[in-house]
């Protein structure tokens, strides 16, 4: 393994790998969904109809409303 491979391995081990399920049952309607949506506010999985916090009556709806609008990454004035 060369130096590039060692660097890739080093950084790959630093960052946690988050695996998402391929199929999951919607926590709101109970429908089995392919590639479900994960709500970061209530930590549950939903179908495409209930993916947004206000569509599934999220218990943390106020936190979703208070988040910054649009892209939060800095572009340093570049487009």
What's the pLDDT score for residue 1?
A: 62
Whether residue 74 has pLDDT greater than 50: no
pTM to 2 decimals? 0.60
Whether 27 contacts 44, CB under 8 Å:
yes
Other C-beta atoms closer than 10 Å to the C-beta of 36 total 23
Nearest to 48 by CA among 64, 63, 34: 34
Domains of the chain are 18-60 (4.10.1110.10)
Average pLDDT value for the chain:
81
Express each pLDDT in 36-51 by its tens digit.
Answer: 999 988 999 999 999 9
* φ and ψ at residue 34, rounded to 5 degrees: -85, 130
Whether 43 contacts 14, CB under 8 Å:
no
Whether residue 78 has pLDDT greater than 60: no
Per the structure block, which two tokens stand in for 45? 């999985």
Kindly report the length of the chain: 79
């Amino acid at each position: 393994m060369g130096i590039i491979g060692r660097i890739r391995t080093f950084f790959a081990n630093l960052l946690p790998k988050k695996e998402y399920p391929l199929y999951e049952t919607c926590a709101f309607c109970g429908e089995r969904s392919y590639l479900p949506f994960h709500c970061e506010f209530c930590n549950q999985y939903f179908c495409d109809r209930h993916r947004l916090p206000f569509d599934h009556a999220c218990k943390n709806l106020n936190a979703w409303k208070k988040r910054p609008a649009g892209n939060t990454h800095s572009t340093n004035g570049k487009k």
